């Protein structure tokens, strides 16, 4: 990776800029796809499956028989690994979820509380292609199970034979998801947004994807369908000092780079010696990767920035707002406490980001492209609506009503005032 030593703050914005996508081309293509799905429904999805996946489909919904058969194709050791991840992710998400909140009496006779109610219909998008992400099924379907969503729809692209990856189907079944459809890309997002003959429209769409999927989700928002978060290509930022093992650092950078050519990895360090050693390790480790070409292209979008101190690295990291932040320093816990902006933080030399991607218990569906400044990663809370309640007794209305009457009058909203006044009058007459 290119090494930049002691840059000035005036260079920060340029140095931390994400790779730019050809947004105009993506926009046009996605809008065309959405329009065709809206107009032609299932037939458009069949045509896109043939065009993009080279698959000739007669039906979109995965049958129970296909799900059962998929389980026989998954190796026993992979099943065991998926079950281990399931248990950790379930434990973490269920303990972080507060379904009901205590009833609070804000003043005598006036009580308020909040409950979490599951979103009725949710859609899960699971990318396929060269790396079918069955781990994403765990990250999305486990929270839906805890939240209790009434209807869960999962879409994923197929191979040329018209089959969804067996591990994806096995994991979905393990999580209790049975409504699975053969649809990928922006067309799957369009189907879950507008509905087709087979695929129902949903209330909120979750899941990562390429630039086309991301733009389709953004357009879905304009149609009144919520999404988990805006997201772009995957990214990692590593803060490392001279004590860090360069092989560990290089391995973490490459683990993210292999996601796609538009992924970005950044190393912030206070040691030129480490920066050079990491570059040597990148060359060595790249040669062993099955996705070498993909990782190499991502490395072209990436850089190492040598700063004066770890304190400076912290400031630059917060300015970047990374999706994943790995802290590989001598006092990693102390550094982590100083971080203000990140999607998910990995503390210490042995906490590689791969653990969180698969099985530590946290969620790997995280805000990218700087959205960690104002979005959180997916959790059970993402699948529920927080509904507030309030209840007044006659005494409560007598205690609070006069203040509301004064405030409504000051805002010139006479009907608001009257809604209180008629009730107070009724109470006075009754007594």
Binding residues for NAD(+): 125, 187, 210
CA-to-CA distance for 259 and 177, rounded, in angstroms?
26
Is 50 a residue of the active site?
A: no
Binding residues for substrate: 234, 256, 259, 324, 357, 411, 416
CA distances from residue 261 to 281, 289, 296 in whole angstroms, order as listed: 20, 14, 8
CA-CA-CA-CA torsion for 4, 9, 14, 15, nearest 10 degrees? 30
Length of the chain counted residue by residue: 431
Active site residue 194: no
Phi first, then psi, for residue 379 (nearest 5°) are: -150, 180
Nearest to 127 by CA among 158, 153, 149: 158
First to last CA, the chain: 81
- The catalytic residue among 93, 194, 258, 323 is 323
Q: Give Cα 343 distance to the centre of its chain.
A: 9
- Give the closest residue to 234 by CA, choosing from 254, 215, 218, 216: 254
Q: Cα separation of 60 and 329, whole Å?
A: 49
SS (H, E, C) 104-157: EEEECCEEEEEEEEECCEEEEECCCCCCCCHHHHHHHHHHHHHHCCCEEEEEEC
- Choosing from 93, 194, 324, 364, which is the catalytic residue? 324
* Pairing state between β 104-107 and 2-5: unpaired
Task: Judge whether 277 and 373 are in contact, CB under 8 Å.
Answer: no
**Binding region:** 125, 187, 210, 234, 256, 259, 324, 357, 411, 416
Measured CA angle at 143 (ends 138, 146), to 5 deg: 125
Positions annotated as catalytic residues are: 323-324
């Amino acid at each position: 990776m290119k090494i930049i030593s002691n840059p000035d703050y005036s260079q920060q914005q340029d140095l931390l800029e994400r790779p730019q996508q050809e947004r105009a081309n993506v926009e046009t293509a996605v809008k065309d796809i959405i329009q065709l799905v809206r107009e032609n429904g299932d037939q458009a999805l069949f045509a896109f499956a043939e065009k993009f996946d080279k698959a000739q489909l007669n039906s979109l919904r995965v049958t129970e028989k296909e799900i059962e058969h998929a389980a026989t194709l998954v190796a026993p050791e992979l099943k065991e690994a998926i079950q281990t991840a399931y248990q950790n992710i379930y434990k973490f998400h269920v303990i972080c979820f507060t379904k009901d909140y205590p009833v609070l009496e804000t003043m005598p006779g006036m009580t308020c509380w909040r409950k979490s109610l599951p979103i009725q219909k949710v859609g899960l998008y699971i990318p396929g292609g060269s790396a079918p992400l069955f781990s994403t099924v765990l990250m999305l379907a486990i929270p839906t199970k805890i939240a209790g969503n009434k209807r869960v729809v999962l879409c994923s692209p197929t191979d040329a034979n018209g089959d969804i990856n067996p591990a994806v189907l096995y994991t979905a079944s393990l999580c209790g998801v049975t409504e699975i459809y053969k649809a990928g890309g922006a067309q799957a997002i369009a189907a879950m947004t507008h509905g087709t003959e087979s695929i129902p429209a949903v209330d909120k769409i979750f899941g990562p994807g390429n630039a086309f999927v991301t733009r389709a989700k953004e357009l879905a928002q304009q149609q009144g369908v919520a999404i988990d978060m805006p997201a772009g290509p995957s990214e990692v930022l590593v803060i490392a000092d001279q004590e860090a093992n360069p092989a560990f650092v290089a391995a973490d950078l490459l683990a993210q780079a292999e996601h796609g050519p538009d992924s970005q990895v950044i190393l912030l360090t206070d040691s030129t010696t480490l920066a050079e050693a990491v570059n040597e390790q990148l060359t060595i480790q790249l040669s062993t990767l099955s996705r070498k070409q993909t990782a190499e292209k991502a490395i072209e979008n990436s850089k190492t920035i040598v700063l004066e101190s770890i304190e400076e690295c912290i400031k630059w990291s917060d300015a970047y707002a990374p999706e994943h932040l790995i802290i590989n320093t001598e006092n990693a816990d102390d550094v982590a406490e100083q971080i203000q902006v990140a999607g998910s933080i990995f503390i210490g030399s042995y906490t590689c980001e791969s653990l969180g991607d698969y099985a530590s218990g946290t969620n790997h569906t995280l805000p990218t492209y700087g959205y960690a400044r104002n979005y959180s990663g997916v959790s059970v809370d993402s699948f529920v609506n927080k509904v507030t309640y309030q209840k007044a007794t006659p005494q409560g209305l007598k205690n609070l009503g006069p203040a509301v009457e004064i405030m409504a009058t000051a805002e010139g909203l006479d009907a608001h005032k009257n809604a209180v006044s008629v009730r107070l009058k009724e109470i006075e007459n009754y007594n």
